[in-house]
Structure 1
Amino acid sequence: MGIIRSTFSLMTGTVLGVYLAQNYNLPNIKKLANTGLLFAKHMEENYRKPKKRDNDDE
């Protein structure tokens, strides 16, 4: 009974996703995720703590 229940929810989600994509103006998730990752990388580079320099070698 478990495989039928999990397959039913997978098929329902797929059909609902196809319906929404065809009938509504949904954002491109891949583009949105890439923009978010680019923003996170930019924030990390700008606000990262500076590395400690060891001047013991000189």
Structure 2
Amino acid sequence: MGIIRSSFSFIMGTCCGVYIAQNYNVPNIKKVANTALFMAKHVEEKYRKPKKKEEDQD
């Protein structure tokens, strides 16, 4: 009885997730995360402070 009670929320979450993924237009999280990471890198490179001349020579 203990294993069923402890894994009930995991099983219900899995079933609900499968139902939602099949019946609704859910965005691809991996693609969204990669796009956000790319945009963050782009903003960082654009607004980064320029290096000092002393640091360039090292």
- Structures share a fold, TM > 0.5? yes
Task: Give the aligned partner of residue 35 of structure 2.
Answer: 35
Task: Give the aligned partner of residue 48 of structure 2.
Answer: 48
- Normalised by the size of structure 1, how large is the TM-score? 0.75
- Normalised by the size of structure 2, how large is the TM-score? 0.75
Give percent identity, aligned residues only. 60
Letter in 2 for 1:34: N
- Give, in angstroms, the shift of residue 3 of structure 1: 8.1
| Number of aligned residues | 55
Unaligned runs of 5+ in 2: none
Instruction: Give the helix-richer structure, 1 or 2.
Output: 2
Letter in 2 for 1:38: F
Task: Give the aligned partner of residue 5 of structure 2.
Answer: 4
Unaligned runs of 5+ in 1: none
Q: Aligned in 2, Cα 1:2/1:43: closer, same or farther, shift over 3 Å?
A: farther
Q: Aligned in 2, Cα 1:50/1:2: closer, same or farther, shift over 3 Å?
A: farther
